[in-house]
Structure 1
Amino acid sequence: MSYKIIIDSCGEFIEKWKEDHRFESVPLTLNVGGETIIDDESFDQISFIKKVAACPECPKSACPSPERYMKAYDCEADHVYAVTLSSELSGSYNSAVLGKNLLLEENPEKKVHVFNSRSASVGETLIGMKIQECEEMGCSFEETVEKVEAYIEEQHTFFVLDDLETLRKNGRLSKVKSLVASALKIKPVMGSTPEGTICQLDQARGINKALVKMVQHIVEKAENSQDKVLAISHCNCKDRAELLKNALLEKIDVKEVVILDTAGVSTMYANNGGVIAVL
């Protein structure tokens, strides 16, 4: 059976997917100071980081329309899957579901499933990899959905922020706390809840100490890690991502490691120097 995997643009694409017609990235749009930027292959990370730093307002994102998702679903593939940013962080999941319902009104026999990643960035990438693995193993549509939903339940997302300006601009960190954190070089270690919201797990003075604490939190959650893929994304800090990978591989065994640079939406969340890890 043929298949297609659609991932909203918060999820980074591994290189081999970019020329594979079975994969499609559906872009969100970003807004910085009134300028609209499409989160597609034309996204310029360095230029975007500079624009965010220069703008006093918080950057914002807008999810794809239901019609855009419907267009992506309307294909010849027998099995169609969509993976979206956590429904707690964006309207992308709801839009994807509405797009599915629109398609099913016209083609009720079409097999389409939308996965709420309850994550972001490379969390979505890993889910896309899991879907492909199930399809290549010959799983039925229903078996794939069941296995991937179970995989999402076991997934854990962690990230460390080096630049807290976006948190300050969007009101999640007061100006006073932001100034204190900057003065003391305090870096938060963040994670995802089972529902897909963001929570603070820890903090440390300095980015390297924060990374050490993040490693500790990842190792605590690393059950059966030898059967899993470790995915790391970074915002303009590849050396930091490699450092994190090496620190983790000293403590746990994994099946594979994937390191990717953040796309547009992930860049907006992580900001310059941010690192995301999903296992």
Structure 2
Amino acid sequence: MNVQIVIDSASDLPKSILEDYQLESVPLIVHLDDQDYLDGETIEPKMVYDAMREGKSPKTAQATPESFYNVFKKHAEQGKAIIYLAFSSELSGTYQSAVIAKDQVLEELPEADIYCIDTRAASLGCGLIAYHAAQLAQDNADVQDILDLANHYVNNMEHIFTVDDLEYLQRGGRVSKAQAFVGSLLKIKPLLHVDDGKLVPLEKIRGSKKVLRRMVDVMKERGEDFQNQTIAITHGDDEENASKLKNLIQEELSPKDVIIHTIGSAIGAHAGPGTIALFFLNKVKK
């Protein structure tokens, strides 16, 4: 390949896709029980979710400039153009780490061709963008063609998700303690989305049975041309509900393909077990 696609571990892509498309992933850091782990490498999501169920509060840190520097320099020395598709800069400083590393590499290798793109996306929202970019890269497409496709996906990627317990979002400062307490009492399931890289509440739904149905309805309202789309579903150690959502979507919208995967340790440390997230392209803005 003439172009190397680089991602970070918050993209939550399955390892099979990373291997098939030669994607390189830079890990975020997860801190649990006084130890630091590399997301996607030295810690499994199940470990994080079980710890959260026990009342523990794992912390995360952005990927380091050094980790990006090593990856960027390696591929630049091989003469490849590099496109890094970053976890939303509104949710992590990882994008800024990559920009620092890019500048360091360019000081040493001024001819290096490195692009850092803030996808304003998270989990498989970011992962889908990288997946499609990597498909083009594997076909030896031009850098500009890959950048154009990636930016199209960046501008039109929808995230619709719900969490099982508002307490997890409260720990991360996404909702107040009062909101979390009242929500738990009333069995309210929040429906959220990502708007310009930020987590934004969308609706409050009473009862978990209704929330999957509403996710599909919102998908119908916001998206189109699903028969030609690869959509994605991620879950916080909740394969049962993720499969139910997949079945509803396949029955009603017949997407081209569905990628379903566990939310990784870094994002899972904030969203918590029981999170269900849905990613698709919205109606293209004219």
Give the TM-score, by structure 1 length. Answer: 0.92
Mark the runs of 5 or more structure 2 residues left unpaired by the alignment. Answer: 281-286
Q: Which residue of 2 aligns with 1:253?
A: 254
What is the aligned partner in structure 1 of residue 69 from structure 2? 70
Counterpart residue identity of residue 231, structure 1: A
1:93 equivalent to 2:95? Answer yes
Q: Is the 8 A contact 1:30 1:59 kept in 2?
A: yes
Aligned equivalent of 2:189:
187
The superposition leaves residues 42-65 of structure 1 with CA deviations (integer Å, 9 ceiling, x where unpaired) of 322232123234446x53311112
One-letter amino acid of the structure 2 residue matched with residue 143 of structure 1: D
How big is the shift at 1:277?
0.9
User: What is the match of residue 204 of structure 2?
Assistant: 203
Q: Which letter maps to 2:179? A: K
| Residue pairs, 1:18-37, within 5 angstroms | 18-19=18-19, 22-32=22-32, 34-37=34-37
Aligned residue for 1:277? 278
* Partner in structure 1 of residue 179 of structure 2: 177
Tell me the amino acid that sits aligned with residue 122 of structure 1: L
One-letter identity of the residue aligned with 1:78:
K
Do the aligned partners of 1:3 and 1:22 also contact (CA within 8 Å) in 2?
Answer: no
Change in CA separation of 1:15 and 1:162 when aligned onto 2, cut-off 3 Å: same
What is the 5 A alignment of 1:44-63?
44-55=44-55, 58-63=57-62
Match of 1:232 in 2: 233
Matching residue of 2:283: none
* CA distance in structure 1 between the partners assigned to 2:123 and 2:29 by the alignment: 15
Give the number of equivalent residue pairs: 277
Q: Cα distance 1:164–1:32, how it changes in 2: closer, same or farther (>3 A)?
A: farther
Q: CA offset at residue 275 of structure 1?
A: 0.8
- Partner Cα separation in structure 2 for residue 14 and residue 170 of structure 1: 26
Give ranges in structure 1 of 5+ residues lacking alignment: none
Asked if 1 retains the 8 angstrom alpha-carbon contact of 2:128 and 2:232, the reply is yes
Instruction: Return the structure number with greater helix share.
Output: 2
Moved more, 70-79 or 84-93: 70-79
Q: What's the CA shift for 1:151?
A: 1.7
Give how far 1:17 is off.
3.4
Aligned equivalents of 2:12, 2:237: Cα separation in 1: 14
- Whole-Å separation in 1 of the counterparts to 2:135 and 2:40: 25
Partner of 1:232: helix, strand, or coil? strand
Q: CA deviation at 1:91?
A: 0.5
Match of 2:136 among 134, 137, 146: 134
Structure 1 residues 41 and 35: CA distance shift in structure 2, 3 A: closer
TM-score, normalising length: structure 2: 0.90
Does the 8 Å CA contact 2:49/2:272 hold for their aligned counterparts?
A: yes
Q: Structure 2: how far apart are the matches of 1:9 and 1:212?
A: 29
1:116 equivalent in structure 2: 118
The DSSP-based 3-state class of the residue aligned with 1:117 is: strand
Query: Shift of the alpha carbon at 1:21?
Result: 8.1
CA RMSD across the alignment: 1.9
Q: Which amino acid aligns with 1:175?
A: K
Amino acid at match of 2:98: A
> In 1, Cα distance between the equivalents of 2:251 and 2:275?
22
